[in-house]
A and B are shown apart, each in its own frame.
Chain A
Amino acid sequence: MLDAAWIIPLLPALSFVAILFFGKKLPRGGAEIGITTVAVSFALSCVTAVQWFSHVDDAQGGAEGLGAIGRSMLGAAEGHGAVVEPVVHSVTWFQSGAMKFGVGIQIDGLAVMMLFVVTLISLLVHIYSTAYMKDDVRFTYYYAALSLFTASMLLLVVSDNTLQLLVGWELVGLCSFMLIGHWWEEGANASAALKAFLTTRTGDIGLMIGIIITFFAAGTFNIVGINEYALSSGADHTLMLVGASCLLMGIIGKSGQFPLHTWLPDAMAGPTPVSALIHAATMVVAGVYLGARLYGVFWNGFTIGSGGFNAMAIIGAITIIIGAALAFVQDDIKKVLAYSTISQLGYMVMGLGVGAWVGAVFHLFTHAFFKALLFLGAGSVSHSGSHHSFDMKKDMGGLRRHMPVTFWTFIIGSAALAGILPLAGFWSKDEILATANQGDFEVFAAVGLIGAFLTAAYMTRCVYLTFLGTYRGHGKPHESPKAITVPLVVLAGFSVVAGLANAAPLGIEKFKDYIEPSFAFPPVTVPEFDYGLAAASFFIVVLAIGAAGFFWFRREELHALRGLTERNASARVGYRFLVNKYYLDDLYEGVIVAGIKGPIAQASYWVNQYVIDAAVRGVGKGARLVASGIYTVDQEAVDGTYNAIARETGASGGLLRRTQTGRLQWYALVLFAAVGLFSLALVIAR
């Protein structure tokens, strides 16, 4: 299966075609095709993962068999175990000169982890959607798009070269566009889809330039080759810095980092299962995945090994704080989760920036489960509890009694997100913070702790507004059907146990053993488990939940805080600043877009009219003069000659045509006359 992993993305691709052509004719509108193929892909991904684990075990077992000397040499080079190369298979896609462009698969720990996450969550979302999207006008189309998305994401994950990765990257962007705008009848949804597409495209410009730079630097598109080059002693540091900065732009666009994060909250216009799959668990982490894949380039470019500050960590840190702060002022439950996603993606990018490769990838893994769980929970609430509304203040509250399964799974997801021991988020967040703390990045560890405080607080607010208090909606809330609750329970289970995959104090370090590459990979430091830091972060989380809970439960008695935004000018300014999302949208639309539309457009119009047009007109006039001279020669001399020839030909033809009577016997007469004349000439000549 390691060699045949290309089947995993192929299956959903076939499913996409099948649903498109036959979906509407099937009793379940094509959903059965999608669910079956994704389930098979999931099973194959599990097989691939298990085979990869035994592959690593074999390689390391073999190394131990070499004896003490060999092991100590290998151990000194890599820190742990033997070098396990990724399984790479590729075929030539096209050839240009001597340069071959391949298409292929690269299976290693990171890839099998992503395969597992993508197929599992895609499968659960497929099942969930049968209930959530029931009776939708474009049900079949929706499933086709889901299949295409799954195929594209898997293509991105298994690709062994940056070109193929770019293809998958753009395809998932396209699917995101299609699915955000699924209900395009409302103008706002169509605009949100367009905004998401164009904003991520802005980052993609950087990605493309980055791919080109790394190609010319390393002379190959192969990911392993690029990493090997970036980590070799002959690598050009300046080139790597520029390349890494450009690639970082792609990450910023795709993974919703500051300052291009504004598309992600708007992307919540799509159906909720889509938000769970694409805008929480899989597509938005493509940027983080890219960072983890080409880690050698970032390691060299940003000199991550030497500590201090670098662009990647700073961007991540800013994103953690601004995303978390914005989550406080949202009334829409999905937007709270969207800003939370932005903030958590900030953790991952910061993790990559501070050398916490394992931490970042581990956080990607755990975050996928609990954030998909929270989104699907929010969808369940809107489906059965709040009459298709997402407004927490107007239509929710007190749903705890009506929707017990949704409530408890949501609580688990929130606790995992906040980082409560021993749920998933605690372990992965702590891994990042510990690495930052021990690797000369103390500032970023502090930012991470502040982010943890904010995360716990806004999730408390969200849970309170949605499930506690009194019901403020107008519908009849009830529990959701099985197709919705079963995926919730499965994801809740993963949110509880996923963190144990790499729980250092318990002696389990599967991510370090199996997921972290040992070939063409920088010497990242894997931290000792820091009990002090872990205790501090846990204390901060509990404190935040306590403070937020106190505020929300005892709100009525807190006169000093009630109406604070009405009475206190600076609090009002701060609130408005957050409600308006730091005015970033206004900056983009008002200043940049209007700037382009207004003065810049005017200026370019003027330049166009008076400079470029004048030049063009001058050239045009000169060309016309020359042309009219040539025209005269052409008309008089050249054409005259040919006309004369034609005229003479016509005249002689007119004479000769009289011989062509069309009568057979006339031709026979000419024939015989000619033969007779020639015979006569022959006789006379003799």
Chain B
Amino acid sequence: MILNQFLILSAFLFCVGMYGVLARRNAVLVLMSVELMLNAVNLNFIAFSARLQDVSGQVFALFVITIAAAEVGVGLAIVLLIYRNFASPDLDAVDQLRG
């Protein structure tokens, strides 16, 4: 089994996610990009788990999936409130904490 392919895929997905988080203006898309980054990390965990014959990597991946589900629940609620208050899902409008 070649580890490199998994790592490259994972790095690619992570970069795509990071780009989404930093560059997209739509809050829903930002949230989806965060999911993408989490799954990239999961892929990394599982790849090393298989390589090292250690099950704890997979356990970690399961935990991350669980946390991600909770995070989406909270995140969507926040997005919904942002939409209600600003009448758009645009994150650039939310800059009330500017110093």
Contacts and interface: CB of A to CB of B under 8 A. Distances in A.
Interface stretch (B1-9, B48-56, B57-65, B91-99): B91-99
A663 interface: yes
Interface in B1-57: 18, 21-23, 30
A619 interface: no
Contacts of B30: 664-665
A660 B91 contact: no
Contacts of A663: 91-92, 94-95, 98
B95 A665 contact: no
A668 interface: yes
A612 B66 CA distance: 83
B18 A660 contact: no
Interface size class of B (residues with CB under 8 A): 10 to 19
A658 to B, nearest CB: 7
A668 B22 contact: yes
B56 to A, nearest CB: 23
Contacts of B95: 661-663
Interface in A634-673: 656-665, 668-669, 672
Given A672-B18, A672-B22, A664 B99 contact: no
Contacts of B99: 656-662
Contact of A662 (B22, B23, B98): B98
Given A659-B99, A660-B98, A661-B98, A669 B92 contact: no
B97 A665 contact: no
Nearest to B96: A662
A665 B91 contact: yes
Nearest to A658: B99
Contacts of A664: 30, 91, 94
A662 B92 CA distance: 9
A660 B22 contact: no
Contacts of B92: 663
A665 B98 contact: no
Interface string A541-563: 00000000000000000000000
A501 to B, nearest CB: 91
Contacts of A658: 99
A464 B92 CA distance: 109
Contacts of B94: 662-664
A657 B98 CA distance: 8
B80 to A, nearest CB: 16
A665 B22 contact: yes
Contacts of B21: 665, 668
Contacts of B98: 660-663
Nearest to B23: A665
Contacts of A668: 21-22
A658 B98 CA distance: 8
B46 to A, nearest CB: 22
Contacts of A656: 99
Contacts of A659: 99
Contacts of A657: 99
B49 to A, nearest CB: 22
Interface string A160-190: 0000000000000000000000000000000
A672 B34 CA distance: 13
Nearest to B94: A664
Contacts of A665: 21-23, 30, 91
A329 B61 CA distance: 114
Given A663-B91, A663-B92, A664-B91, A669 B22 contact: yes
A661 B93 CA distance: 11
A656 B96 CA distance: 17
Contacts of B18: 672
A661 B95 CA distance: 7
B97 A662 contact: yes
Contacts of B97: 660, 662
Given A659-B99, A665-B21, A668-B21, 14 more contacts: A656-B99, A657-B99, A658-B99, A660-B97, A662-B94, A662-B96, A662-B99, A663-B91, A663-B92, A663-B94, A663-B98, A664-B30, A664-B91, A665-B23
Interface of B: 18, 21-23, 30, 91-92, 94-99
Interface of A: 656-665, 668-669, 672
21 contacts: A656-B99, A657-B99, A658-B99, A660-B97, A660-B99, A661-B95, A662-B94, A662-B95, A662-B96, A662-B97, A663-B91, A663-B92, A663-B94, A663-B95, A664-B30, A665-B22, A665-B23, A665-B30, A665-B91, A668-B21, A672-B22
The 10 closest A-B pairs by CB, nearest first: A660-B99, A662-B98, A662-B95, A657-B99, A662-B97, A663-B95, A669-B22, A665-B22, A664-B91, A661-B98
